[in-house]
Structure 1
Amino acid sequence: MNSVEIPAIPSVKRERQETGAEALVRALEANGVDVVFTIPGVHTLDLYAALERSQIRTVLPRHEQGAGYMADGYARASGRVGVAITVTGPGLTNIVTPIAEAFADSSRVLVISTCLDRPYLGHLDGRLHEMTDQLAVVRPIVKWAHRVMSAAEIRSAVAEAFRQLYDGRPRPVYLEVPLDVLRERTAMSDPLVIAVPPAKPDDHLLDRAAQLLADANRVFVLAGGGAVSERSSQLLSQLASAIGAVVSTTVTGKGAIPDDHPLAIGAFGYRWMPDNPVSELMRGSDVTIAIGTGLGARTTAEGTMPLPSPLIHIDIDPLEFHRRYPAAVALRADCAEALAGLLERIEAGFRPRSRWEPWEIESVRQQLLSVTDDSARRYQPWLIALRRALPRDAFTAHDMTMVCYEAVRAFPVYVPRTYAFPRGFGTLGSALPMAIGAKYARPDRPAVAICGDGGIQFTVQELGTLAQYRLPVIVVVFDDRSHTAVKRAMLQAGVRPRDVDLVNPDFVELAQSYKLNAIRVSDPAELERAASQAVVDTSPWLIHVMLGTEA
Structure 2
Amino acid sequence: MNANVTSNQSTSPATLTCAELLIRLLRDTYGVSTLFGIPGVHTVELYRGLEGSDVQHITPRHEQGAGFMADGYARASGKPGVCLIITGPGMTNMATAMGQALADSIPMLVISSVNRRDTLGMGQGRLHELPSQQQMISGVARFSHTLLDANTLPEVLARAFAIFNGARPGPVHIEIPIDLFNAPVDAPSSWQAPTLYRAAPDPDGLAEAARLLKAAKQPLVLLGGGCVSAPKAARALVEQLDAPTVTTINAKGLLGREHPLDLGANVALPAVRELAANADVILAVGTELGETDYDVVFDGGFLLNGTLIRIDLDPEQLVRNQRVTLGLVGDAGRSLELLLGHFPDSLQRQGAKRTASALSALNLVKDPAFSDFVPLYTTLAEHLPDAILVGDSTAPVYAGNHLVSQPAPRRYFNASTGYGTLGYGLPAALGAQLGRPDLPVVALVGDGGVMFTLSELATAVEERLPIVIVLWHNAGYEEIRRYMDANGVARLGVDIQAPNFLTLAEGFGCSGVMVGSPSELSRALTKRDPHRPVLIEIDAAAWQKNLIETGDNNEK
Counterpart of 1:206 in structure 2 is 206
Q: Amino acid of the residue matched to residue 67 of structure 2?
A: G
Structure 2, unaligned runs of 5 or more: 1-12, 546-556
Structure 1's 427 and 283: CA in aligned 2 closer, same or farther, altered over 3 A? closer
| Percentage of pairs with the same residue | 36
Which SS does the other structure have where 2:485 is aligned? helix
Counterpart of 1:506 in structure 2 is 500
Q: Amino acid of the residue matched to residue 131 of structure 2?
A: T
Which SS does the other structure have where 1:288 is aligned? strand
Aligned pairs (5 A) from 1:328-347: 328-347=325-344
Distance of 2:470 and 2:195 partners within structure 1: 40
Query: Deviation of residue 336 (structure 1)?
Result: 1.2
Q: Amino acid of the residue matched to residue 518 of structure 1?
A: G
Distance of 2:505 and 2:365 partners within structure 1: 35
Q: Amino acid of the residue matched to residue 330 of structure 1?
A: G
Q: Amino acid of the residue matched to residue 36 of structure 1?
A: L
Q: Is the 8 A contact 1:155 1:192 kept in 2?
A: no
Q: Is the 8 A contact 1:288 1:308 kept in 2?
A: no
Which SS does the other structure have where 2:541 is aligned? coil
Distance of 1:91 and 1:262 partners within structure 2: 47
Aligned pairs (5 A) from 1:132-211: 132-189=131-188, 190-191=190-191, 193-211=193-211
Counterpart of 1:314 in structure 2 is 311
Q: Amino acid of the residue matched to residue 510 of structure 1?
A: L
Which is worse superposed, 186-195 or 324-333? Answer: 186-195
Q: Amino acid of the residue matched to residue 266 of structure 2?
A: F
The superposition leaves residues 310-357 of structure 1 with CA deviations (integer Å, 9 ceiling, x where unpaired) of: 11211111111233333232111111111111111101x5x65x3225
Structure 1's 300 and 516: CA in aligned 2 closer, same or farther, altered over 3 A? closer
Determine whether 1:287 maps to 2:286. no
Distance of 1:452 and 1:324 partners within structure 2: 31
Structure 1's 303 and 207: CA in aligned 2 closer, same or farther, altered over 3 A? farther
Query: Deviation of residue 165 (structure 1)?
Result: 2.1
Counterpart of 2:550 in structure 1 is none
Which is worse superposed, 430-439 or 373-382? Answer: 373-382
Counterpart of 1:522 in structure 2 is 516
Please give the TM-score of this superposition, normalised by the length of structure 2: 0.90
Q: Is the 8 A contact 1:259 1:266 kept in 2?
A: no
Q: Amino acid of the residue matched to residue 321 of structure 2?
A: R
Distance of 1:122 and 1:194 partners within structure 2: 35
The RMSD of aligned alpha carbons is 2.0
Counterpart of 1:260 in structure 2 is 258
Query: Deviation of residue 305 (structure 1)?
Result: 1.8
Q: Amino acid of the residue matched to residue 81 of structure 1?
A: P
Counterpart of 2:9 in structure 1 is none
1:476 equivalent among 467, 470, 481: 470
The superposition leaves residues 478-500 of structure 1 with CA deviations (integer Å, 9 ceiling, x where unpaired) of: 00111001111111111110111
Counterpart of 1:11 in structure 2 is none
Counterpart of 1:129 in structure 2 is 128
Counterpart of 2:50 in structure 1 is 51
Counterpart of 1:5 in structure 2 is none
Structure 1's 443 and 507: CA in aligned 2 closer, same or farther, altered over 3 A? same
The superposition leaves residues 73-124 of structure 1 with CA deviations (integer Å, 9 ceiling, x where unpaired) of: 0111111110011011111111110001000111000000001111111122
Counterpart of 2:245 in structure 1 is 247
Query: Deviation of residue 510 (structure 1)?
Result: 1.2
1:21 equivalent among 19, 28, 38: 19
Counterpart of 2:382 in structure 1 is 388
Query: Deviation of residue 371 (structure 1)?
Result: 6.5
The superposition leaves residues 134-155 of structure 1 with CA deviations (integer Å, 9 ceiling, x where unpaired) of: 1111000100110111221112
Structure 1, unaligned runs of 5 or more: 1-14
Structure 1's 42 and 112: CA in aligned 2 closer, same or farther, altered over 3 A? same
Q: Is the 8 A contact 2:277 2:306 kept in 1?
A: no
Distance of 1:406 and 1:374 partners within structure 2: 10
Please give the TM-score of this superposition, normalised by the length of structure 1: 0.91
Determine whether 1:370 maps to 2:364. yes
Distance of 2:413 and 2:456 partners within structure 1: 18
Aligned residues: 526
